[in-house]
Structure 1
Amino acid sequence: MIPKSELILNPDGSVYHLNLKPENIARDIIFVGDPDRVEKITRLFDSIEFSTQKREFKTQTGTYKGKRLTVLSTGIGADNIDIVLNELDALVNIDLETRTIKKELTSLNIIRIGTSGSLQADIPVNAFVLSKIGLGLDTMLRSYQNDSVTITALEEAFIKHTNWDIRKGRPYAVHCSEKLEKQFENDNIHKGVTATAGGFFGPQGRVLRLAIQDENLNNKMDSFNYNGTRITNLEMETTAIYGLSALLGHHALSLNAIIANRANGTFSSNPDEAIEKLIDYVLCKIIEEGTQILIN
C-alpha cells in the first residue's frame, strides 16, 4: 500500500495538485504550458464535460468530432512535469481507494503543443518542430532509475562536444514515442533533438545582469550532430515529458511552434497565428489517424 504521505489526495479523493479523479480524464491528453491556452483548444470542441483549475494546472475534458480528449496546462518547467506525469499515471494505474498498483496498466497518449526558440538559422519563425529526441539539461530524470530509457551514447557525445561542466549535472536523452512520431510526422515539419533547459535566462544562454557559466554553450549546441541529427530548438519541458512517460509506459510526443530564432535574432510577428495553426494540425491528426489505448 502506498502511504498517504507519498500519494496525497484531496478530501474529495482527487489527486492533490491536479485536482482530478480518474473519470475526469481521457486517455488522449494534450499538454500546453499556459493555462490560457487550454481554452484556445477546447473552444473548438463539440462539448466540454469537465473543467477544473488548481494553481497553474487547468484541465478540460470534452469531445472533438466524436473523440474524447483532455487538455491540461502544465505550467513551466521540468519540476511541474514531474508533478503532472506522476499524478496522471496515478489516476489510471493506481487504485486510489486501496492505494495499490493495478495489475493491468494503461498507457496514455500525451501530445505536447508548445512554443519554442529555434537554434538553427534554417528553421524559421512560424515553422513546426517535432522533437524526435529530447535532451534534458535540467537533471530532473536523474532522481529516478532511468538507464532503461536514456540514450547514453548521445549524452556522452554531447558532454564531449560542449565540454559540459558536470557540476551542473549529467544531461539525459530520451526518444519520443515511435508510434506517435509516425502519426504526427509530416514532410513540412522539422525533426531533431529538442534541448530542455532548467530555466529561461542563464540556463538558455540569456544574459541580463548575471554572467553565465558558459557563454558559448548555445553556439556549441548549434553545431552538435549525433548520427545526422542536430539540436533544433530549446525549451523547458519536452525531455522531462519523454523521460517520465517512457519510464511509466506512456506514449509522448512534443510539437513546437517556433516563435523565435535564436541564431538570427528574429521573433514571429504573429505568434498566436502560429500556435493556432499547430493546434489545428494536432487535432486533425488525432482525428485522422485515431489513437489507441494500450494495455501493458
Structure 2
Amino acid sequence: MTGDSEDPNADVQYHIEVGEGDVAETVLLPGNPERVDKITSLWDTHEEIAYHREYRTATGTYDEESLSVTSTGIGGPSTAIAVEELARVGVDTFIRVGSCGAIQPEMSVGDLVITSGAVRQEGTSDEYIREDYPASADHEVVSALIAAAERLGYDYHVGITMSADSFYAGQGRPGYNGFRAAGNDALVEELQNANVKNIEMEASAILTIANIYGLRAGAVCTVYANRVTGEFRTEGESRAAETASLAAALLAKMDAVKRDAGVETWHAGLSIE
C-alpha cells in the first residue's frame, strides 16, 4: 500500500479554497461560476468566500436560513472534487442547480426537473462503487424541492435523470463532422421508453457520492432544450436557483421539526408550517 499524499495547507481545501466555518451545512451546486451571482442575487445576504479555478463559493442567508453555493464546473470529475472537499469542511446537504435537456414530449422549455434518481452514464461514480449501486436522491431533499416549486408556482416534473460524461456523443448528438458514436442514434429513444425525464452531466455523481458518505443530496434543473420537439431557449434559469434556495430553507425547518419530534427522518406526518 502506498502512502496518501496530503495537501500541505491544513487551513483550506486544496481546490475550492474554503475551510471550516466558511460554508453552511447546505450548499447549492451550479456548474457555471457565473451562476453564483444569479443565485445570490435572490438571497437576503451573501459574501463571496473563495474563487479558484472553476470553484466559486459564496455564503449567505435566504429566508433567514444560512446556505452556501459552490460552482463545480462541467461534469462529474470536477463536481466530485467539490463534493469531497465541501464534505470535509462540514457540509451535509448538496443540491445541484443547473440546466438540462428534456426528453419527454410534454416537458416545456422553462419547466423544472426534480431528480428522484439518476442513470449513471458518467464514469466518475464508477471510481467509487460498483455500477449497479443506485444513484438515488435523498427523499427529504426531493420533498423540499417539490414543496418549494409548489409554493413558487413553477411547473415541474419529478423523475429519473440521465447523467453523461459527454455533451455531444454521450447525449446522442453528432460530433465534429457528423461523427456518430456507436449506439448514440438510439440513445434518446431508449431513455424515453424507460421514462427518463432529462439529460445533464453532474447529478448521478453527486447523488452516488453523497449516498456513500451518508449525506443528503438532490438536484433541480431548468429545461433549456426539448430533444423531442427541437425547442431550445435559455429561459427560466432563475427558477431552479430560487427553488433550490427555498428548498434549502425548508430543509432547515424540516430539521428543526425532526429535532423537536425526536425523530431522525422527516416524513409526511410532520408539518413544517
Same fold (TM over 0.5): yes
Residue 113 of structure 1: how far off its partner (Å): 1.1
1:194 alignment partner in structure 2: 161
Gaps of at least 5 residues in structure 1 are: 93-106, 153-171, 225-229
The residue identity in structure 1 corresponding to 2:182 is Q
Provide closer, same or farther for how the CA distance between residues 88 and 287 of structure 1 changes in structure 2, counting only shifts above 3 A.
closer
- Structure 1 residues 245-265: Cα deviation after superposition (integer angstroms, max 9, x where no partner): 000111001001101000111
The answer to whether the Cα contact below 8 Å between 2:49 and 2:57 also exists between their aligned partners in 1 is yes
Using the TM superposition, give the Cα deviation of residue 139 of structure 1 relative to its aligned residue in structure 2, in angstroms.
2.4
Query: 1:246 is matched with which residue?
Result: 211
Instruction: Report the equivalent of 2:186.
Output: 216
Q: Hey, what's the Cα distance between the residues in 2 that align with 1:49 and 1:128?
A: 27
CA contact (8 A) 1:9 1:15 kept: no
Q: Given the alignment, which residue of 116, 123, 126 partners 1:142?
A: 126
- Quick one: distance in 1 between partners of 2:84 and 2:240? 27
Are 2:142 and 1:184 equivalent residues in the alignment? no
Deviation sequence 1:73-120 (CA, Å, 0-9, x none): 00100011221111112222xxxxxxxxxxxxxx61111111000011
Which residue type is aligned with residue 276 of structure 1? S
Tell me the residue number matched to 1:206.
Answer: 173
Q: By how many angstroms is 1:45 displaced?
A: 2.7
State whether structure 2 residue 221 is matched by structure 1 residue 284.
Answer: no
RMSD, matched Cα: 2.4
Change (3 A) 1:3 1:60: farther
Q: Which residue of 2 aligns with 1:55?
A: 53
> Could you tell which deviates more after superposition, 207-216 or 50-59?
207-216
CA distance in 2 between counterparts of 1:182 and 1:46 reads: 23
Q: Contact 2:36–2:58 (CA<8 Å) still a contact in 1? A: yes
Report the more deviating stretch, 25-34 or 276-285. 276-285
Query: What count of residue pairs does the alignment treat as equivalent?
Result: 248
Give 1:235's aligned residue: 200
Which residue in 1 is equivalent to 2:13?
15
* Runs of 5+ unmatched residues, structure 2: 265-273
| Aligned-residue offset at 1:50 | 4.2
Q: Is the 8 A contact 1:196 1:236 kept in 2?
A: yes
Indicate the percent of aligned positions where both proteins have the same amino acid: 25
- Helix, strand or coil: the match of 1:285? helix
Give the deviation of 1:47 after TM superposition.
Answer: 2.5
1:127 aligned partner, one-letter code: D
Once the two structures are TM-superposed, the CA of residue 43 in structure 1 deviates from its matched residue by 2.1
Q: 1:143 to 1:4 in 2, by over 3 A?
A: closer
Give deviations 1:47-80, integer Å, cap 9, x for gaps. Answer: 3244210001000011223211101100100011
Q: Normalising by structure 1, what TM-score?
A: 0.77
CA distance in 2, matches of 1:257, 1:135: 18
Q: Pick from 87, 105, 110 the counterpart of residue 89 of structure 1.
A: 87
- State which of 246, 255, 258 in structure 1 corresponds to 2:220: 255
What secondary structure sits across from 1:69 in the alignment? strand
SS in 1 for 2:21: helix
